[in-house]
């Protein structure tokens, strides 16, 4: 199942935003850290509790766009990613999504954006056909900027670049409601040369739990373990 505009448009919008954003971060951070562009993919393996919940409530799951399902895991290719080599904070923007169906009801979540900062990590998602939620993206970027001293001052000196970030984020948000889908916990990393494997557990957010109830008529408790995520990334040449 394909989502109109989910490929090239997503890349164009978010690359514009993140490229400008990373330019600010890299310039302000200077020698403190190196910001690199990443390529790769993220695989999500649903927890046994999540799988049982879906089965018990008659909810089926299918992939959207370039996302795939194999050997019990969903895989989402990166549209673009940037990371800090000093502390492995960063932003990973994914292509594709998932569609959940119960009878005649369905809801799509797509364009997952993982934002890892020094103090928090979240997984954002877009719900097409619904408005609002752009503040989640702005908040995530602000938290990421806060880990790079001097960014705000640089943005004041270069307002055009800063405005490009704001405009691109608003453009992205206009294609659907942006929600915090999950909190990322139990973060881990393994590094080998120019590649890294980043791991995390996904805990359902309150906002996502409410969306499930409204869209599918099924109650689910916030904080439930959705599954585990493994991002395999490498530095783009």
Helix (H) or strand (E) holding 49: helix 48-56
**pTM to 2 decimal places:** 0.77
User: What is the pLDDT at residue 159?
Assistant: 72
Residue 3 lies in a domain: no
Does any domain span residue 110?
A: yes
**CA pair distance 32, 138, nearest whole angstrom:** 24
* pLDDT for position 172: 63
**DSSP H/E element including 102:** strand 97-102
Is 25 a member of any domain? yes
* Residue at 134 is within a domain: yes
Collect all residues with Cβ–Cβ distance below 8 Å to 220 and sequence separation of at least 6.
Answer: 53, 204, 209, 212, 213
Would you place residue 14 in the very low, low, confident or very high pLDDT band (cuts 50, 70, 90)?
very low
Q: Kindly tell me if the per-residue pLDDT of 22 is higher than 90.
A: no
Q: Report which of 160, 113, 110 is spatially closest to residue 141, judged by C-alpha positions.
A: 113
Q: Which residue has the higher pLDDT, 13 or 40?
A: 40
Count of domains for the chain: 1
Residue 203 sits in which domain range? Answer: 8-235
Residue at 1 is within a domain: no
Q: Is 111 left (phi over 0), alpha (psi -120 to 50) or beta?
A: left
- Which helix (H) or strand (E) segment holds residue 154: the answer is helix 151-157
Does residue 38 or residue 151 have the better pLDDT?
38
Residue 2 lies in a domain: no
Q: List, for residues 88-128, the tens digit of each pLDDT value.
A: 778 888 999 999 999 999 999 998 989 887 778 889 888 98
What pLDDT was estimated at residue 179? 87
The reported pLDDT for the residue numbered 4 is: 34
Across 51-65, 103-117, 145-159, 203-217, least confident range: 145-159
Residue 164: burial class (beta carbons within 10 Å; 0-12, 13-18, 19+): middle
pLDDT at 60 over 70: yes
């Amino acid at each position: 199942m394909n989502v109109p505009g989910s490929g090239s448009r997503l890349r164009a919008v978010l690359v514009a935003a993140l490229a400008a954003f990373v330019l600010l971060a890299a310039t302000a951070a200077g020698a403190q850290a190196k910001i690199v562009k990443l390529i790769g993919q993220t695989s999500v393996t649903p927890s046994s509790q999540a799988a049982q919940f879906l089965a018990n409530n008659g909810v089926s799951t299918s992939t959207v766009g370039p996302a795939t399902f194999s050997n019990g895991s969903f895989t989402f290719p990166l549209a673009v990613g940037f990371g800090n080599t000093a502390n492995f904070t960063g932003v990973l923007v994914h292509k594709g999504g998932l569609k959940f169906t119960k009878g005649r009801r369905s809801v799509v979540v797509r364009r997952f954006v993982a934002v890892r900062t020094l103090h928090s990590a979240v997984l954002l998602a877009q719900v097409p056909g619904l408005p609002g939620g752009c503040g989640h993206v702005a908040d995530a970027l602000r938290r990421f900027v806060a880990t790079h001293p001097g960014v705000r001052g640089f943005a004041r000196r270069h307002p055009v670049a800063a405005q490009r970030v704001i405009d691109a984020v608003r453009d992205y948000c206009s294609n659907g409601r942006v929600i915090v889908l999950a909190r990322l916990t139990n973060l881990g990393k393994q590094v080998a040369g120019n590649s890294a494997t980043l791991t995390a557990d996904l805990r359902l957010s309150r906002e996502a739990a409410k969306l499930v109830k409204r869209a599918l008529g099924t109650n689910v408790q916030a904080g439930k373990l959705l599954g585990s995520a493994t991002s395999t990334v490498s530095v783009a040449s």
